[in-house]
Chains A and B, each alone.
Chain A
Amino acid sequence: MLTLKLAWRNLFRNVRRTILTVLLIGSSVAAMIMTDAIIIGMVNVMVNSITHTLAGEAQVDHKGFRDAYDASLYLAHSSSLEKQIGSDPAVAAYAPRVIAGGMASSSYNIASAAIYGVDADKELAVSRISDAVIHGRYLTGKPDEILIGDSMAALLEVKLGDRIVLTVAEPQSGELSQALFRVSGILHFGTREFDDRFVFINLARARDVLAIPDGSQQIAVRFKNEADAENTQLPFYRKLNHGDVEAVSWLEANPSIASVLGWTDYSSYIVAVVLFLLASFGVINSMFMSIYERIYEIGVIKAIGSKPADLMRLVLTEAALLAVLGCIFGMLLAWAVGSYYSVHGIPMGDYELSGIMLSDNINAALKPYQFTTYPAYVIVLTIIAAIYPARFASKIVPAEALQRSL
């Protein structure tokens, strides 16, 4: 109690220095929290971009299909699976898709294409294909409708109403099949791969072209609770994963994204370490200045019977109090700034990260752990940083200290 009282009062012997040190620690804590909040916000944007654009939060497909997008690996009885998926209490929406690689040709040019046959109505609840339409209209169910990316439209030199022929190999027979479409919509996703290669036609027509009457290569799923997507223990996954059917979360379906997300964790740590090092140098400097100013007094305190451990305890307590004050300030600052940016977002413009187009504002995501874990680390590490000046104070020889000029 005496140590705490002494340490607390010592902090206010040089108010300016204490305030500056508290600001340094506080700013570091705020920066750590804000960095983490922004990274989480960026990841949220990235995940939303992936899951909402096309992939869905989970995908059900034929085992092996995702390895090479081989159209011959399709779910032959898609409608019964769709019923099962639709009745799952965790599922909010689903959309069956026919997917095949093929060629798209116009009167002027030819391009490789990733052909998606989609259920126009069901896709509205799962993906954002309709949001990407920049010219023309979304699919209405007419058999000759086709949506293509703006880059592909430029390559094929087509515009709305122009004809496009799709050539695909039928999965069962391997025979080539051709179908004529008229461009009903031009899309712009912002992601090069989508805009260069993806074409969307109606599901029924796609099944017809590929000669798979009740087949689909993929059923994209959206959950009522987004977090369920990564819960591998969810009954949804257990029930569906048997035989040739494979149900995976969006993260499993995009392993490269998983590594990007792992990298974002490291970036938080790196920023935290750099900020902490800066703060700790400030604390060490501040503590040494404080000790040098009190060296005669420390000599007296030791002379009258305080042990080295008492002095260690005193300096470490002062450092801990500085850290606590700094953390309180830092948390308030982070809460104020973070709350603003969690609502208003940080405008980043359009940018592509790991092949994903990010165009939304980044909303800082404040989490309770940021206000417990980071301050706890800072307090503990500040105390560790203060061990050096504390040891110095504890080793002061009274006779030498008392000979310092008064």
Chain B
Amino acid sequence: MTDSQPVIRTLDLCKFFGSEQTLVKAVDHVSIEIEPGEFTAVIGPSGSGKTTLLHLMGGLDNPNSGIVELSGSNIAKMSGAELSDFRRDHIGFIFQAYNLIPVLSAEENIEYIMLLQGVAAAERRRRVAEMLKLVELEGLGHRRPPELSGGQQQRVAVARAMASHPDIILADEPTANLDSHTGIALLEVMRELNREQGMTFVFSTHDEKIMDRATRLIHMTDGKVDKDEHIAR
């Protein structure tokens, strides 16, 4: 990926559900570009297509038509196995809740993706320690998810997403299940990673706390982009 190239580019992206009579246009001819280092929030009411757009951008779902380019590669044309490898190496995901594998410790959850990547053991250990430090969870790495608070679990999810050195992190309502204070703390961690490490974040959210911190807001209604505003912060 070069500096001038967008991390994600969608062109006339469409995703429809249902048959003719009950057709739902979840994503309707959306064309956007996400530049490196952006802290972008895709916002809109429930059913506006935010999560579907995020899934399409992350290669979790196939579009009916259109193009999704991630770091210059058209992921809409990739096979299942290619897409798995691509997601593993280029995209970090954070979901609303239950992000972690409950039978693995926080350290093992972070290490999991690096094991899939085939990273050497010593490097994995180094990166796990580094990530735990970044998300301020040093000393809690041995705990399993049920032994961590919701906020701590989401921080582990952030650490896991960062550990694979992705091009972008896609976060679907990451603060939805957190109380206000914990949500702000988590957002601060992610904003810090965005500022200091230049990590690109795209959120789908209703959360005003995220909107308040986002450098770009993409407004969606009925599957279409209503408004796309860049905010200097």
Q: Which residues of A contact B (CB under 8 A)?
A: 2, 5-6, 9-10, 12-13, 296-297, 300-310, 397-399, 402, 406
Contact = CB atoms under 8 A, between A and B. Distances in A.
Nearest to A399: B61
Lowest 6 A-B CB distances belong to which pairs? A305-B88, A9-B103, A399-B61, A399-B60, A307-B84, A398-B60
A108 to B, nearest CB: 87
Contacts, number: 76
Interface in B66-89: 80-81, 84-85, 87-89
B103 A303 contact: no
Given A13-B103, A305-B88, A300 B98 contact: yes
Given A303-B58, A304-B87, A308-B84, A10 B103 contact: yes
A310 B52 CA distance: 25
A139 B116 CA distance: 84
Interface string B36-65: 000000000000000010010010110000
B95 A302 contact: no
A297 B58 contact: no
A305 B102 contact: no
Nearest to A309: B81
B101 interface: yes
Contacts of B161: 304
Contacts of B104: 5-6, 9
Interface of B: 52, 55, 58, 60-61, 80-81, 84-85, 87-89, 92-93, 95-99, 101-104, 108, 112-113, 115-117, 160-161, 164, 172
Nearest to B81: A307
A277 B24 CA distance: 45
A303 B61 contact: no
A399 to B, nearest CB: 4
Given A307-B81, A402-B172, 10 more contacts: A2-B112, A5-B104, A10-B103, A13-B102, A303-B58, A304-B87, A304-B160, A305-B117, A306-B116, A310-B116
Contacts of B103: 6, 9-10, 12-13
18 contacts: A2-B112, A2-B115, A6-B101, A6-B103, A12-B103, A303-B58, A303-B95, A304-B92, A305-B89, A306-B84, A306-B116, A307-B85, A308-B81, A308-B84, A398-B61, A399-B61, A402-B60, A406-B96
Contacts of B84: 302, 305-308
Contact of A406 (B52, B81, B97, B112): B97
A402 B89 contact: no
A127 to B, nearest CB: 67
Contacts of A304: 87-88, 92-93, 112-113, 116, 160-161, 164
B101 A305 contact: no
A276 B98 CA distance: 37
A305 B99 CA distance: 13
Contacts of A2: 112, 115
Contacts of A307: 80-81, 84-85
B26 to A, nearest CB: 11
A297 B102 contact: yes
A300 B85 contact: no
Contacts of A9: 103-104
B110 to A, nearest CB: 11
A278 to B, nearest CB: 29
A10 B104 CA distance: 10
A308 B102 CA distance: 20
A5 B161 CA distance: 21
A345 B203 CA distance: 72
Contacts of B85: 305, 307
B188 to A, nearest CB: 24
B82 to A, nearest CB: 10
Contacts of B89: 305
A241 to B, nearest CB: 66
A308 B164 CA distance: 19
Nearest to B99: A300
B97 to A, nearest CB: 6
A89 B34 CA distance: 93
B98 A305 contact: no
A301 B87 contact: no
Given A6-B103, A9-B104, A304-B87, A402 B95 contact: yes
Contacts of B96: 406
A288 to B, nearest CB: 19
A305 B89 CA distance: 8
A12 B144 CA distance: 14
B145 to A, nearest CB: 10
Contacts of B112: 2, 304
> Which has the most chain B C-beta neighbours within 10 Å: A13, A296, A302, A398?
A398
A338 B75 CA distance: 61
> Which has the most chain A C-beta neighbours within 10 Å: B87, B96, B101?
B101
A297 B112 CA distance: 14
A406 B116 contact: no
B98 A297 contact: yes
Nearest to B115: A2
Contacts of A399: 52, 55, 60-61
Contacts of B116: 304-306, 310
A83 B207 CA distance: 105
A303 B101 CA distance: 13
Contacts of A5: 104, 108
A303 B81 contact: no
B162 to A, nearest CB: 12
Contacts of A10: 103
A2 B160 CA distance: 16
Nearest to A3: B115
Given A6-B103, A306-B116, A296 B98 contact: yes
A214 B27 CA distance: 107
